[in-house]
């Protein structure tokens, strides 16, 4: 099982809490925005507002954390079994001899 990333001390607590609500794609958009400050529709407004008052170092560590968290979420999803897969085989598909 993958290990969750540890955020740098400079990452604001409210961002750590809110980032768990986002998909890997959204987190990558946030990381990109932190590096470029070019806003897109995929970047939540709270991130735009928060970055307006953050310094470059804070934005950099937030970008790193968001990218690491996106990687973690993807690895975790790959490690989990698919919901469509059943452990119990369907009736008649257990193998062995068929008695009629």
| pTM (two decimals) | 0.77
**What pLDDT shows up at residue 81?**
72
pLDDT of 92 over the 80 cut: no
For the purposes of burial, counting CB atoms within 10 Å of the CB of 72, is it exposed (0-12), middle (13-18) or buried (19 or more)? middle
- Per-residue pLDDT tens over the stretch 35-91: 999 878 889 999 999 999 999 999 999 999 999 999 999 999 998 876 655 555 555
Report pLDDT digits (tens) over 2-24: 899 999 999 999 999 999 999 99
Query: What Å distances lie between residue 91 and 94, 98, 99, CA to CA?
Result: 7, 12, 13
pLDDT band at 98 (very low <50, low <70, confident <90, very high): low
């Amino acid at each position: 099982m993958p290990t969750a990333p540890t955020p740098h001390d400079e990452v604001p607590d409210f961002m750590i809490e809110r980032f768990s609500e986002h998909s890997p794609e959204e987190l990558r958009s946030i990381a990109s925005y932190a590096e470029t400050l070019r806003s897109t529709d995929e970047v939540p407004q709270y991130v735009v507002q928060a970055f307006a008052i953050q310094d470059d170092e804070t934005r950099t560590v937030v970008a790193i954390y968001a990218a690491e968290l996106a990687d973690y979420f993807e690895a975790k999803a790959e490690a989990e079994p698919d919901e469509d897969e059943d452990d119990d085989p369907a009736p008649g598909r257990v193998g062995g001899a068929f008695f009629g």
